[in-house]
Structure 1
Amino acid sequence: MPTAHPLLLRLFQAALAAADPYHLIAPYLPPPPAGRTLVLGAGKAAARMAEAVERHWRGPLAGLVVTRYGHGAPTRHIEVIEAGHPVPDTASEQAARRMLEAAAGLGPDDLVLCLLSGGGSALMALPAAGIGFEEKRALHRELLRCGAPIGEINRVRRHLSAIKGGRLALACHPARVVTLVVSDVPGDDPAVVASGPTVPDGSTGRDALAILDKYGIVASDAVRAVLLDARPAAPLPGDARLARNEVHVIVTAQRALDAAADAARAAGYAPLILSASMEGEAREVALVHASIARQVVQHGQPLPAPCVILSGGETSVTVRGQGRGGRNAEFLLALGLALDGLPGVHALAADTDGIDGSEDNAGAWLAPGTLARARAQGLDAGARLRDNDGYGFFGTLGQLLVTGPTRTNVNDFRAIVIEGDVL
């Protein structure tokens, strides 16, 4: 069985350790209130965050968080619910309803700790009035397949939700709300993470409708009616009812990349962080990375080998084929085709939550001999890319990266190791 370059695995482990919210949450916890403390949360890191809150909190507390199936963590006072992701299921809807019910009746002396991370948009899904749950599920699937960046996807989600776009914060009023965020979005805007259930949204329903039109997604009459309703159902920026609320982004992709860069230096490789917020089609982003790697190998620019190229963010995939994908596997397949066996270049691409899209792998890895091995086994890399079948390609070669749930989520992690003196 082939194995990945050992430095790639060390870099990924360093990034995951730096992004673990369990060790980072304590400095952001406020003093206990005079009244009750209610914990609410959603996302792939929500259970891990709840576990950390219980460890550090001094005083009574209760509440519930929702996370992806298999991503739970042991808690004593905060209930952990598991639900569907990336497409919501009935457990997602029930979790959202229960959060709104738990928020009812809070007073000005009460505190709500809201724990949010990537994945919360699907895990806490309650349609706006007038839209059926199955209709929202179908629209959700189309948004995930159209190639739109996460900011646009979540703008639509906010306007079609009864809990996102600041609506959960309104439900908690007049209690104080302190939101702690593990960011999985480029730019780390809290209004985008989990579609911002405690953060006001300044966009309009017409903005959301324009996104659907842009990607050729046909909105039903019910969806159009909600998006064209001029009455503001969600709080706007500056809403006085949210004046006491706070939002803190406690974990970001930049932190994970910095840790990987430190690990690269310790191993004697110069690191180059391209960006923590890359977006775009996975196969196009791969071409950019490939061109930089080739420049390093051939000309020692922008830095000489041995070195490591690092990047984060969230790419997208416009699904046209029938294969088993994942944006990180798609990135690597396109990268492999562009590099065409360039000596000394090894790569890894994975989602820090341990799930590449909806599959059971975090991502995959690439070696200089990968395409040659594929051809020897009758695998056509170009055809697999056209079919969006990165998972099938790397699975056949034994080059998938499987971690299981990591209970954090700062989105994509990409590392390219370039050895010295290879030409």
Structure 2
Amino acid sequence: MSEAQRDLLDRLFAGAIAAAHPAGRLPQLLPAPPADGHLIMLAAGKAAGAMTEVAERHYLDTLGLAAGRLAGLAVARHGYARPTRVAEMIEAGHPVPDEASLAAAAGALALAQSAGADDLVLVLMSGGASANWIAPAAGLTLAEKQAVTRALLRSGANIGEINSVRKHLSRIKGGRLARAAFPARVVTLAISDVPGDDPDTIGSGPTVPDRSTLADARAIVARYRLDLPAAVHRALADPANETPKPGDPVFAAAAFHLAARPADAFAAAEAIVRGAGYDYVFLGERLEGEAREVAAAHARLARQLQTQGRRAAILSGGELTVTISGSGRGGPNQEYALALAIASGASPAVGLQTAIVAGFLIS
């Protein structure tokens, strides 16, 4: 790979990240603080620290909101904390939850339940929130929730299926955070990392109605032949663990807005690609499937473009999966990158840059 190609890949990566960064996407969407009540900020996911920083700066500095009217809690994966001013910042496990995930969810639920009708609960969501907020359904332990997560991650199930199971084993996911905050007004601002930007899939939808059911969750467990603790099977058979559905009054004062989408990152990347004189080959933002199989298909396409003498950048996004049969480590991005290198014969004419929301391939 030439230095010019490497530089282009770096610029694509930086441009895509900037296009979805909270600093540029969040301020114009932040709601006005309540006239009389308190503003309670609850943030979860890998961007929780950055989103909380932006929100605190907006309310405390730009609007001059008194710090005493602001409360909050933010949780991000280990190593992703940011220096917040009012909100408590917690680092927790991802993709497998840990004790800090329990503490973060308990704190978020307590703050939500403390909200009154005059208060505003602002929920800031980003990828990773499902693992960062863990509140096991009655009768389940953290160890059992961890076992479920590991089994789902190894199974090859897609993110929608994974979160359908998670939502029915939780006291915070699947609309239950909105239920805890009722009758307060709830506004959710989310950075999407899932194909289709479905609100009830992002972070397992803690503030929106859930369209999946206990029966759906049980069917997913059966489809992938998941070996789960007996307590999990009991929980999935308990009607008390059904999630709140569309039309439930707890969502009457709830609003959901996307702050950033994979499409925003791709639009920025396309401008950079075309500006550099490359053909823009976009394979879509909703790719799913086994990471190694998708990588092999992309390698074939890259070789075809090389054979045709085209200078092209192949871009794609989505939520790939890895079905683990041994004791390997890593996730879909690593699997994709390594499989692509093998399938392309590690050709020096093919460069690769991957991120959570996008893959950039230059030939």
State the alpha-carbon separation in 2 of the partners of residues 343 and 99 from structure 1: 49
Query: In 2, distance between residues paired with 1:326 and 1:208?
Result: 23
Aligned to 1:162: 171
337 and 105 in structure 1: CA distance in 2 versus 1, 3 angstrom threshold: closer
Q: Please report the TM-score for the alignment, with normalisation by the length of structure 2.
A: 0.93
Please list, as runs of the form range in 1=range in 2, the aligned pairs for 1:351-366 lying within 5 A after superposition. 351=355
Partner of 2:92: 83
Aligned equivalent of 1:416: 361
Alignment of 1:48-87 (within 5 A): 48-57=50-59, 58=63, 59=65, 60-87=69-96
Per the alignment, do residues 323 and 241 of structure 1 end up closer, same or farther by CA in structure 2, a change over 3 Å counting? closer
CA contact (8 A) 1:286 1:334 kept: yes
Q: Which moved more, 1:232-241 or 1:78-87?
A: 232-241
The answer on whether the counterparts of 1:23 and 1:52 sit within 8 Å (CA) in structure 2 is no
2:214 touches 2:241 (CA, 8 Å); kept in 1? no
Partner of 1:126: 135
Q: Which residue of 1 aligns with 2:15?
A: 14
**Corresponding residue for residue 252 of structure 1:** 261
Deviation, 1:176, is: 0.3
8 A contact 1:45–1:118 mirrored in 2: yes
CA–CA distance in structure 1, aligned partners of residues 319 and 296 of structure 2: 15
CA shift in 2, pair 1:341/1:117, >3 Å: closer
Matches within 5 A, 1:18-417: 18-34=19-35, 35-57=37-59, 58=63, 59=65, 60-231=69-240, 233-299=242-308, 305-342=310-347, 344-349=349-354, 351=355, 411-417=356-362
Deviation at residue 198 of structure 1 after TM alignment: 0.6
Aligned amino acid, residue 54 of structure 2: A
Letter in 1 for 2:48: A
Contact 1:205-1:226 at 8 Å conserved across structures: no
SS in 2 for 1:168: helix
Q: Distance in 2 between matches of 1:99 and 1:326?
A: 28
Q: Which moved more, 1:286-295 or 1:12-21?
A: 286-295
SS in 2 for 1:144: helix
Q: Which has the larger share of helix?
A: 2
Gaps of 5+ in 2: none
Deviation at 1:342, TM superposition (A): 4.9
User: C-alpha distance in 1, partners of 2:105/2:114?
Assistant: 17
- For 1:366, the equivalent position in structure 2 comes to none
Q: CA deviation at 1:233?
A: 4.4
| TM-fit CA distance, 1:221 | 2.8
Give the C-alpha shift of residue 348 in structure 1. 2.2
For 2:305 and 2:109, the matched residues in 1 are separated by 53
Quote how far apart the aligned CAs of 1:297 are.
Answer: 2.0
TM-align CA RMSD: 1.7
In the alignment, the residues of structure 2 paired with residue 104 and residue 332 of structure 1 have an alpha-carbon distance, to the nearest angstrom, of 44
Pairwise CA distance, 1:149: 0.9
For 1:212 and 1:334, the matched residues in 2 are separated by: 28
How far does the alpha carbon of each residue in 1:106-144 deviate from its partner, in whole angstroms, 9 at most, with x for none? 222110000111111111111000111111111111111
Instruction: Indicate the larger mover: 129-138 or 323-332.
Output: 323-332
Identity %: 50
Shift in Å at residue 152 of structure 1? Answer: 0.7
Deviation at 1:234, TM superposition (A): 2.6
Q: How many residues align?
A: 353
The CA deviation at 1:281 is 0.4
Decide whether the 8 Å contact of 2:317 with 2:359 is kept in 1: yes
Look up the SS of the partner of 2:317 in the other structure: strand
Matches of 2:212 and 2:319 in 1, distance apart?
22
The alpha-carbon distance between structure 1 residues 26 and 286, as it changes in their structure 2 partners (threshold 3 A), is same
Distance 2:211 2:274 in 1: 42
Q: Which amino acid aligns with 1:25?
A: L
Structure 1 distance, partners of 2:357, 2:189, is: 20
